[in-house]
Amino acid sequence: MKKSTRRIVRCTKGEKMLYTLGFMSIIFTIVIRVFSSASIGNLKMDIEKINYKIENQEKKNQSLKMQVNELTSFENLKDILKDMGLAYNNENIVVVK
């Protein structure tokens, strides 16, 4: 009868160190990916907020331009001149470029 012999496989210190370093590097990589994804998400939200502010400011600027155009319209100037008692004389107008 043959005696069954079991071989006990033991890890050396070097193998244990390699396994530990491999496991730690995998964990470190996962943590880095999570934090970098979170920071990228925050940056995207900041960009969207800034774009929203820019759009609102552009709308305000356009509204103000329209008000300036209304106030400087020819009809409005004529009305102001009449209210002040002045007459419109086309020959006295000088265009400066």
Does residue 83 lie within any of the structural domains? Answer: yes
**Rounded (5°) CA angle 71-62-49:** 150
The token pair that represents 71 in the structure block:
């106030």
With respect to residue 70, please indicate whether it lies within any of the assigned structural domains.
Answer: yes
- Could you read off the pLDDT of 14-67 as tens digits, one per residue? 999 999 999 999 999 999 999 999 999 999 999 999 999 999 999 999 999 999
pLDDT in tens, 3-15: 777 778 788 899 9
Asked if residue 1 belongs to a domain, the reply is no
Count the domains in the chain: 1
Residue 66: domain span: 13-92
Which H or E element spans position 6? none
Residue 72 lies in a domain: yes
Look at residue 97 and tell me if it is in a domain: no
